């Protein structure tokens, strides 16, 4: 079998395969879906373009999708988040060799440039023979955006000219689309027409999808995987509770106990981050714009303040908002000497890195990859992690397997749902029904030795539910 792919080094495949084997043990949700659906092959005929951090856990997801019959092409959704050994293992496959890879085409390596990043995203949407995928599995919405902007600019007859307002990333993106249209003027309408749906992993990508649906521009149905309870209330919270401090520790090895840490945003990710920093003995301060989340933080015992009020006080700053311009260049100039600054939200615009680079007299020193000291003209400096991109994947290896098993079981079920029940979904954004959310949770109980109480029929009637669930109304918030 021969296929195109681009990863760092196939000789890493064995190290990757060992990690995958251990991850499989920690991913009971995915493994039981393989058992449940392996024979019936519900994804046979599915051609999935996946844009999601190419980690060990994602490798187990990819091999679950192929075990259910899908063909897959994969890229990472961040330039720093690939684990090269996992990418190599997926390409080589469980039965291949580096000389004769038998796995899945992956286009991802740690430390891509922006043009390389967008080229990889283009690769997963460009299948052999000029064909495209019929499903997208997205994280942050970049693959979905490429198809939508491609169609929009194709219809307009041109890609808009570069503007001073464009971020570096958007300028590179425009260049990529311009190139694809020069080569194949109808590429994106042809590809969009084949796509039956997208399943989206994260808050930021979901936000983009609802905007597209509201303006009537969404080109195919979408399932919002993020808002399955077993995704956002687990991955975003408990995943970040684990991987935030993993990233800070691997990057800096600074003792967190006793330090003052500011967490910007107290949504699901912020809650996990604040808890993990407090768990290490840091004094945590939260910033919020939403009175409900601010009150929640106060109830947990965290000081809630404006960033400006505490900017000179803190040792560690973490942005978790999914919003932009949270920490500005001006803020960074007022921080303590050697303050650590990092972002765990999806995009790098939470911290104004472009503004920081323009501060007069500033210099940048690489301490090690993804750890940079920015020194101001007066000699004080700050440490910025992963160039402002998500630090838990840039400085560490992202969330651990068990929590990702929940997220990815939702992804797999959502792919089956959209691929096999195409007539049931309009060009809107849907969440998975609650019985499937409960199913994902159920798949993870045995591994933790959880003993679940069963309702009696009378009890079920008394609270107005079925003995087999769902157990909560749609409006219940957990």
Choose, from 407, 417, 437, 439, the residue flagged as catalytic: 407
Residue 201 marked in a binding site: yes
Which stretches of the chain bind ligand NAI, using CB under 6 A? 202-204, 232, 235-236, 239-240, 264-270, 287-290, 293, 320-323, 326, 344-346, 390, 392, 399
Active site residue 466: no
**Closest by CA position to 441, among listed 467, 478, 416:** 478
Give the Cα separation of 177 and 121 in Å (integer): 11
In whole angstroms, the minimum distance from the beta carbon of 140 to ligand NAI comes to: 7
Task: Give bridge partners of residue 317 from the DSSP assignment.
Answer: 262, 341
In whole angstroms, the minimum distance from the beta carbon of 234 to ligand NAI comes to: 10
- Residue whose CB is less far from ligand NAI, 68 or 356: 356
Give the Cα separation of 41 and 417 in Å (integer): 13
Task: Give bridge partners of residue 263 from the DSSP assignment.
Answer: 286, 318
Cβ neighbours around 368 below 10 Å, total? 9
In whole angstroms, the minimum distance from the beta carbon of 381 to ligand NAI comes to: 25
Active site residue 407: yes
Active site residue 411: yes
Residue 288 marked in a binding site: yes
Active site residue 119: no
Active site residue 131: no
Active site residue 53: yes
What three-state secondary structure class fits 161?
A: coil
Give the Cα separation of 197 and 432 in Å (integer): 14
Choose, from 85, 112, 235, 417, the residue flagged as catalytic: 235
Give the Cα separation of 369 and 341 in Å (integer): 15
Residue 112 marked in a binding site: no
Residue 342 marked in a binding site: no
Residue 204 marked in a binding site: yes
Active site residue 81: yes
Q: Residue 97 — φ and ψ, nearest 5°?
A: -135, 165
Name the DSSP class of 235: I
Choose, from 19, 26, 32, 53, the residue flagged as catalytic: 53
Yes or no: say if 57 and 235 are a contact pair by the CB < 8 Å rule: no
- Residue whose CB is less far from ligand NAI, 199 or 202: 202
Residue 235 marked in a binding site: yes
What three-state secondary structure class fits 223?
A: strand
What three-state secondary structure class fits 329?
A: helix
Active site residue 201: yes
Active site residue 444: no
360 burial type by CB count under 10 A (0-12 exposed, 13-18 middle, 19+ buried): exposed
Give the Cα separation of 337 and 323 in Å (integer): 26
- Residue whose CB is less far from ligand NAI, 10 or 273: 273
Residues labelled catalytic: 53, 76, 81, 139, 201, 226, 231, 235-236, 240, 346, 399, 407, 411
Binding positions for NAD(+) are 202-204, 236, 265-272, 288, 323, 344-346, 392, 399
Binding positions are 55, 139, 201-204, 231, 235-236, 265-272, 288, 323, 344-346, 392, 399
Binding positions for substrate are 55, 139, 201, 231, 235
């Amino acid at each position: 079998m021969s296929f195109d792919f681009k990863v760092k080094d196939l000789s890493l495949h064995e190290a990757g395969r060992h990690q995958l084997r251990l991850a499989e043990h920690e991913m009971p949700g995915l493994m039981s879906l393989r058992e449940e659906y392996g024979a019936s092959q519900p994804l046979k005929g599915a051609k999935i373009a996946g844009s999601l951090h190419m980690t060990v856990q994602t490798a187990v997801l990819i091999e679950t999708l192929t075990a259910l019959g899908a063909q897959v092409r994969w890229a990472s959704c961040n330039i720093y988040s690939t684990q090269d050994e996992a990418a190599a293992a997926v390409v080589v496959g469980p039965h291949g060799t580096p000389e004769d890879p038998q796995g899945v085409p992956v286009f991802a390596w740690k430390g891509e440039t922006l043009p390389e990043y967008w080229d990889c995203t283009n690769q997963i949407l460009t299948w052999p023979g000029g064909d495209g995928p019929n499903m997208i599995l997205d994280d942050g919405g970049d693959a979905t955006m490429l198809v939508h902007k491609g169609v929009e600019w194709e219809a307009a007859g041109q890609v808009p000219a570069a503007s001073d307002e464009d971020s570096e990333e958007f300028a590179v993106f425009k260049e990529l689309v311009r190139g694809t249209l020069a080569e194949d003027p109808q590429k994106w309408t042809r590809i969009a027409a084949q796509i039956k749906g997208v399943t989206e992993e994260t808050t930021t990508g979901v936000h983009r999808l609802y905007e597209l649906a509201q303006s009537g521009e969404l080109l195919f149905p979408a399932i919002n995987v993020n808002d399955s309870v077993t995704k956002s209330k687990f991955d975003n919270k408990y995943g970040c509770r684990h991987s935030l401090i993993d990233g800070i520790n691997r990057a800096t090895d600074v003792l967190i106990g006793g330090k003052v840490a500011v967490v910007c945003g107290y949504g699901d990710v912020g809650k996990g981050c604040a808890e993990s920093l407090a768990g290490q003995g840091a004094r945590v301060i939260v910033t919020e714009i939403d009175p409900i989340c601010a009150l929640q933080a106060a109830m947990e015992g965290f000081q809630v303040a404006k960033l400006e009020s505490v900017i000179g006080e803190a040792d560690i700053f973490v942005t978790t908002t999914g919003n932009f311009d949270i920490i500005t260049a001006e803020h960074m100039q007022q921080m303590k000497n050697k303050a650590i600054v990092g972002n765990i939200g999806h995009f790098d615009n939470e911290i104004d890195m472009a503004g920081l680079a323009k501060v007069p007299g500033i210099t940048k020193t690489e301490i090690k990859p993804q750890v940079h000291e920015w020194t101001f003209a007066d000699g004080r400096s700050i440490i910025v992690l992963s160039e402002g991109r998500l630090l838990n994947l840039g400085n560490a290896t992202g969330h651990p397997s068990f929590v990702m098993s929940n997220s990815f079981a939702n992804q797999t079920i959502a792919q089956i749902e959209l691929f096999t029940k195409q007539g049931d979904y309009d060009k809107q954004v849907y969440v998975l029904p609650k019985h499937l959310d409960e199913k994902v949770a159920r798949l993870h109980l045995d591994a933790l030795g959880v003993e679940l109480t069963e309702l009696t029929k009378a009890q079920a009637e008394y609270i107005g539910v079925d003995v087999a669930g769902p157990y909560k109304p749609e409006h219940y918030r957990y």
